[in-house]
Structure formats: C-alpha cells, structure tokens
C-alpha cells in the first residue's frame, strides 16, 4: 500500500478521538460566557488532559508516605498504635501521647517527608537539565563544599557546643562558595561544558582532601559526630530545625511549578524548545537555581543525603510510565524513600541508630544494581 492511500484513509476517520496509548481523562469545564459590549467573552474555561496512571501512582505514593510517616511516628521506645498516632496528630489522644508524637517525633518525620520531596524534585530537575539519568546536583562539587563548610564550623569553630544553625549556615555557605568557585574557574569567555566538569572534579578532590584532613586531625569524639553529619542524618531534629525548611519549601512552590511547566519542552532539545516559545537560557538558569536551592536547603538541614535525588525520579518514571522525569511523582517518591530509609536507619538494627544517609547509600546501590539487571534483560 503506497503512502498517499494511507493518508486518505486516515483523513476519513478525522472525527474519532486520538489514541494516546494509555487511559486519559479529558477534563473540560466550560467557563462563564459574558457579554461585554458586542463580544461574548469566555472566562475561566478549563481544559486538561489528565494521565490516569500518573495520578493514581502519585496518590498511592502519597498514601504510602503518609502511612510510613504514621508508622514512624508510632515506633520508638514507646510503641504507639496507628490509631493513636492519627488521633494525636489531630489533637486527640492523651496529652502524653500528643507530646511524644507532636513534640518529639514529628519534627523528624515531617523533615523526612519534606526533605525527601525536595531531594526528589531536585534530582528530577538535574536529570532533565543534564539529559542524563544519572545526573545529580553534585557535578559542581556542591555537597563536598557543604561538608567542608560544616566541618569548619564543627571542628574549627567549636560548633559542637552550639546549636544546629551554625552548622547549617556553614554548610550553605560552603556549598554556595564552592559552586561559585567552580563556575568562576571554569569561566573563560563563557562556560564550556567539559571545562566545567573538570574544574568541578578538581575542586571536589581538593575539598575532599581537606575534609579528610580535618577529620583526621580532630578529636576522635568530635570527628565521629562530624562524620555522622557528613553521612546525612535526621537525628535530634526539633521543630526549630524544621521551620526554616518548611518556609523555604513553601516559598519554592511557585518557582518549582514555573520550572515544571517548561521542563517537558526543554526535554525535546534546545532547538525544539526555542521553536515552541521557551526562552531556553532563562529556563535553564531557573532550573539550576531551583535545583541547587533545593539541594542546598536539604544539605544544610540534614547533611548530604545521597541517592534520593538520583533514584527517586527514575523509580517514579518507571512507575508512572511517563515521558521523561516528572516533578510531582519524583517528589512523592522521594518522600516515601526518605521516610522508609529513616525508619530503617532508626529501628532496623536493634538499638543502633544509624545516620539515614548510610541507609540511602546502600539502598541506592541496590537500586542501581536493579537498573543494570533491567538493562541486561532488555537487551
């Protein structure tokens, strides 16, 4: 059958709906039609194409995160059943129960959910930006620099005795200065990709060496505490620590949506995106700023937690069968991953309380092994 005939047949079926290859919900709400002078103006008309599987997966993940969070709130020296926890969260149960749940345990669990989501989003942004499923925010040496900043505060400026904020600030400053330094050193009439990577590796190596030195020369107890921070931990978190994170998360909602709306277009290549009306340089810059900010706040709050940013978007993508990585699903997946990892870190090893970063690294490695197996099977 020659091609022109194919085309004529297709034209005959113009009236039928398009087959998108998966179930979709098409939502069309007629707006209000008003007469303004001689014109009929329609305001508020909504039309959307909703991917049913995607929505379901996100809903399930959110439910799972919630369930895991409640489970974590109920576990500990004093074991509280599911129902009691839910009551306590909403103001019921006994005052003692409420104290345990809302004052002692909740900050940690809330941080796990929120940081997990932020890391998931950051990972999705970087993977889309670098067009690499192994993309991560650390190509600019951010995490290593953040660790250096934190170590300087903890070990050199006697940060051990003070509260949590100096460390967080140290981490933020360290990370940001490192990113700037890498950028400046790579800048020579513009930033060429390869040069940026090499400079990033070089600076990371230097800072890593500095970190090793600082840990080596410090007092053993202090060094161990600092290393615990360096592995990423949610231990000893209070509401005072969670508040800044929550504020930043709320502030970031709009920028994240701005980026999420444009990311799918950029996924098709810079040329196609520009042809469709995206301002490529501006969008890319926004993606970098948002991605780095989210990682920065997570690292400042809990130390560098590895692999959540790497694994969450890819796992979410496989579950939703979406085209490219998506922000909402990655956020939900990240939250689930971190809460579950935190539960494992706290309770799975008897009385030993591990830093959550240790669990995420191990799980991350297993996830990569699974990815490899999938690839092997596909070939």
Partner 1 sequence: MSSIVRSAAPVTSSVTDDAVVARSAHGLARTNSRRLLGWFLGLLILVGVCLLSLSVGTKSIPITTVWDALFAFREIDDHLIIRDMRLPRTALGLIVGIALGVAGALIQAMTRNPLADPGVLGVNAGAAFLVALAVGVFGITDLWGYIWFAFVGAVLATLIVYFLGSWGRGGGTPVRLTLAGVAVAAVLTGITQGLVLLDPVAFDAMRTWNAGSITGRDGSVVWAILPFVAVGLGVALSVARPLNAVALGDDLARSLGANVGLTRAAGVVAVTLLCGAATAAAGPIAFVGLMVPHIARWIVGPDQRWIFVYTMIGAPILVLLADVLGRVIIRPDEMQVGIMTALVGAPVLIVLVRRKKASGL
Partner 2 sequence: MTMNTSKSGNDGNGEMNEATMTGGAPGGSARLRARNITIGYDTRIISDGLTVDIPDGKFTVIVGPNACGKSTLLRALSRLLSPSSGEVLLDGKAIASYPAKQVARTLGLLPQSSIAPDGIRVADLVARGRFPHQKLIRQWTAEDETAVVEAMAATGVSELSARLVDELSGGQRQRVWMAMLLAQQTELMLLDEPTTYLDIAYQVDLLELCSELNRNSGRTLVAVLHDLNHAFRYADHIIAMRSGNIVAQGNPSEIVSAEMVREVFGLPCRIIDDPETGTPLVIPLARRADAARFISH
**Which residues lie near partner 2 (CB under 8 A)?**
2-4, 6-7, 10-11, 13-14, 17-22, 26, 28, 45-49, 131, 190, 261, 264-265, 267-269, 271-272, 274-279, 317, 321-324
CB of 257 to partner 2, least distance (A): 9
SS (H, E, C) the chain: CCHHHHHHHHHHCCCCCCCCCCCEEEEEECCEEEEECCEEEEECCEEEEEEHHHHHHHHHHHHHHHHHHHHHHHCCCCCCCHHHHHHHHCCCCCHHHHHHHHHHHHHHHHHHHHHHHHHHHHHHHHHHHHCCCCCCHHHHCHHHHHHHHHHHHHHHCCCCCCCCHHHHHHHHHHHHHHHHHHHHHHECCCECHHHHHHHHHHHHHHHHHHHHHHHHHCCHHHHHHHHHHHHCCCCCCCHHHHHHHHHHHHHHHHHHHHHHHHHHHHCCCHHHHHHCCCCHHHHHHHHHHHHHHHHHHHHHHHCCCCCHHHHHHHHHHHHHCCCCCCHHHHHHHHHHHHHHHHHHHHHCCCCCCCCHHHHHHHHHHHHHHHHHHHHHHHC
Among partner 1, partner 2, none, partner that 368 touches (CB below 5 to 8 angstroms by kind): partner 1
Sole window of 57-65, 245-253, 277-285, 362-370 interacting with partner 1 (rule: CB under 8 A): 362-370
Give the one entry of partner 1, partner 2, none that residue 208 binds, where binding means its C-beta sits below a cut-off of 5 to 8 angstroms depending on kind: partner 1
Mention every residue, 6+ apart, whose C-beta is less than 8 A from residue 88: 73, 80, 97, 98, 100, 101, 102
Instruction: At 315, list the tokens.
Output: 């796992």
Nearer to partner 1, 53 or 195 (CB): 195
Looking at the Cβ atoms of 3 and 253, the one nearer to partner 2 is 3
- Find how far residue 278's CA is from the centre of its chain: 24
Using rule CB under 8 A, residue 160 touches partner 1:
no
Binding partner of 149, given partner 1, partner 2, none, CB within 5-8 angstroms per partner class: none
Q: For partner 1, what does the binding mask look like between residues 246 and 265, x meaning CB under 8 A? A: --------------------
Sign of torsion over alpha carbons 336, 340, 346, 352:
negative
Using CB under 8 A, which residues numbered 62 to 121 contact partner 1? none
Nearer to partner 1, 87 or 225 (CB): 225
Distant-in-sequence, close-in-space partners of 314: CB < 8 Å, separation ≥ 6: 127, 133, 325, 367, 371
Nearer to partner 1, 34 or 217 (CB): 217
The entry of partner 2, partner 1, none near residue 35 (CB within 5 to 8 angstroms by kind) is: none
Q: Which does 42 bind (CB under 5 to 8 A by kind): partner 1, partner 2, none?
A: none
- By CB under 8 A, name the one of 227, 252, 268, 286 that touches partner 1: 227
- Cβ 3 to partner 2, closest distance in Å? 5
| Among positions 215, 252, 274, 286, the unique one binding partner 1 when judged by CB under 8 A | 215
Q: CB-wise, 3 or 220, nearer to partner 1?
A: 220
Q: Strand 32-36 to strand 24-29: parallel, antiparallel, or no bridges (unpaired)?
A: unpaired
228 binds, among partner 2, partner 1, none (CB under 5 to 8 A by kind): partner 1
Per rule CB under 8 A, is residue 156 in the interface with partner 1? no
Q: How far apart are CA 25 and CA 7, in angstroms?
A: 28
Q: Which C-beta is closer to partner 2: that of 155 or that of 260?
A: 260
Identify which of residues 46 and 253 has a Cβ nearer to partner 2 in the complex: 46
Among 45, 180, 251, 372, binds partner 1 (CB under 8 A): 372
Q: Any contact of residue 189 with partner 1 (CB under 8 A)?
A: no
| Binding partner selected for residue 48 from partner 2, partner 1, none, CB under the kind-specific 5 to 8 Å limit | partner 2
Binding site for partner 1 (CB under 8 A): 134, 185, 188, 192, 194-195, 197-199, 201-203, 205-206, 208-210, 212-213, 215-216, 220-221, 223-224, 227-228, 231, 306-307, 349, 352, 354-355, 357-366, 368-369, 371-373, 375-377, 379
């Amino acid at each position: 059958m020659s091609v022109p005939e194919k085309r004529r047949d297709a034209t005959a079926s113009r009236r039928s709906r398009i087959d998108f290859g998966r179930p979709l919900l098409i939502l069309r709400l007629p707006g209000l039609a008003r007469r303004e002078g001689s014109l009929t103006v329609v305001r508020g008309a909504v039309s959307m194409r909703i991917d049913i599987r995607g929505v379901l997966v996100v809903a399930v993940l959110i439910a799972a995160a919630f369930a895991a969070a409640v489970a974590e709130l109920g576990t500990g020296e004093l074991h509280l059943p599911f129902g009691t926890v839910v009551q306590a969260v909403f103001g019921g149960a006994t005052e003692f129960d409420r104290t345990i749940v809302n004052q002692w345990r909740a900050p940690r669990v809330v941080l796990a959910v929120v940081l997990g989501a932020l890391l998931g989003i950051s990972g999705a942004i970087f993977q889309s930006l670098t067009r690499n499923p192994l993309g991560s925010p650390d190509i600019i040496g951010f995490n290593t620099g953040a660790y250096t900043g934190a170590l300087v505060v903890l070990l050199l400026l006697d940060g051990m005795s003070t509260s949590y904020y100096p460390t967080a600030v140290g981490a933020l400053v360290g990370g940001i200065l490192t990113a700037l330094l890498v950028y400046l050193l790579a800048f020579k009439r513009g930033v060429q990709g390869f040069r940026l990577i090499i400079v990033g590796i070089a600076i990371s190596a230097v800072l890593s060496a500095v970190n090793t030195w600082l840990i080596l020369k410090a007092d053993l107890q202090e060094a161990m505490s600092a290393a615990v921070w360096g592995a990423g931990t949610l231990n000893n978190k209070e509401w005072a620590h969670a508040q800044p994170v929550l504020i930043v998360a709320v502030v970031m909602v709009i920028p994240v949506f701005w980026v999420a709306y444009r990311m799918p277009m950029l996924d098709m290549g810079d040329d196609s995106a520009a042809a469709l009306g995206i301002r490529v340089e501006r969008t890319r810059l926004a993606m970098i700023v948002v991605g780095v900010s989210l990682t920065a706040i997570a690292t400042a709050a809990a130390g560098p937690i590895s692999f959540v940013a790497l694994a969450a978007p890819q796992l979410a993508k496989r579950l939703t069968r979406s085209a490219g990585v998506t922000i909402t699903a990655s956020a939900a997946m990240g939250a689930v991953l971190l809460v579950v990892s935190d539960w494992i870190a706290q309770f799975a090893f008897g009385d030993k309380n591990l830093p959550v970063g240790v669990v995420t690294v191990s799980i991350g490695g297993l996830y990569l092994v699974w990815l490899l197996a999938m690839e092997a099977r596909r070939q």
